[in-house]
Amino acid sequence: MAAATAPATGLVTLADIRRAAATLAPVAVRTPLLPCDALSELAGAEVWLKPEMLQRGGAFKFRGAYTYLAAMSPEVRARGVIAPSSGNHAQAVALAARLFGVPATVVMPTTVTAAKRAGAERLGARIELAGTTTADRMARAREIAGAEGGTLVPPYDDPTIIAGQGTAGLEIVEQLPEVGTVLVPVGGGGLSAGVATAVKLASPGTRVVGVEPAGAPKLTMARAAGAPVRLDKTASIADGLLAVEIGRLPFAHHQRYLDEVALVDDAALRPAIRLLVDRAKLVAEPSGAIPVAALMARVVDVSRGGPVVLVLSGGNVDWAALQALLGGPQG
């Protein structure tokens, strides 16, 4: 099991995460833990859901985005912010910017889902489209920041972002002190790094498992190589988890605090989304449902070791896309 000693220099601390929690307390939703009998029966363990689709902006990303903007000086923040994002970070930054009364530009892929683009537009962000990869979006965001003087808000490779996302893990330990295992999605790594750090520092005996798509195994490959590895391509219906390389700072946290990484095939995601709708009455996008898919596909054994918490990272999917994911209208 990963060590849970004092953080090495440069890593986010539990005090950092607690400060982020205090910053977020007046504005963010403290999402509940919900029991899920259907998954408990399947897994042979007590299973709880952490539904971050109930967070403002429809995903966990608001935690990091608001924490980042709150840490900026008012003078710098007033010049505006730019967010490179596959969708959820864009909406989170747009919402945080609206709360602070500053302009936001978001750089999204040309393949962005209709729900995520519409969400950013509703929140008043200016939309730019750039390529299909994280690198494409980051390059365009840097161009805009250089030309217009706004501040780029990183999606995951930043200590303030990691601390903000880690507040979800801190809540888990506060809500369920006896938690035995936490499953958390892995995209660029901000959420998984923050949650693993918070959980391990607050509850050293708890096991933390990162879950990523089999078609985007950036953390799996990085752990095998001992350093972040840039993948030639990624492919999955879990569009929020398609970074081609794990963030370097998140990876350092993963190496210290994350016990395991599990891979899930796309075929397991649709049944997971359906189970959440049918049995938990929750709407998750594929990225958010991946911990459920890991249990249903039995790629992670949680039958021993106490209660299990699944972090459902988001639910930004519209009705048309949900129908398509679930095989069309059901009679």
* Number of neighbours of residue 131 by Cβ within 10 angstroms: 15
- Cα R_g (the chain), whole angstroms: 18
313 catalytic per annotation: yes
Token pair listed for 101: 């009364």
- Quote helix, strand, coil % in the chain, to nearest 5: 50, 15, 35
Task: Give CA–CA dist 97/116, Å, rounded.
Answer: 17
* Identity of residue 151: T
| Residue 135: exposure state from Cβ atoms within 10 A (0-12, 13-18, ≥19) | middle
CA angle 111-273-37, nearest 5°?
155
Decide: 210 and 258 in contact? Cβ < 8 Å. yes
Task: Give CA–CA dist 65/101, Å, rounded.
Answer: 14
- Per DSSP, the chain holds a count of helices (H) and strands (E) of 14, 10
Catalytic annotation, pick one of 61, 116, 200, 218 = 61
Residue 329 to residues 254, 322, 326: CA-CA distances in angstroms? 40, 9, 8
Closest CA to 241 of 266, 207, 267, 275: 266
DSSP 58: G
Task: Give CA–CA dist 203/35, Å, rounded.
Answer: 20
Catalytic annotation, pick one of 86, 203, 236, 313 = 313
Task: Give CA–CA dist 117/129, Å, rounded.
Answer: 10
* Residues with a known catalytic role: 61, 313
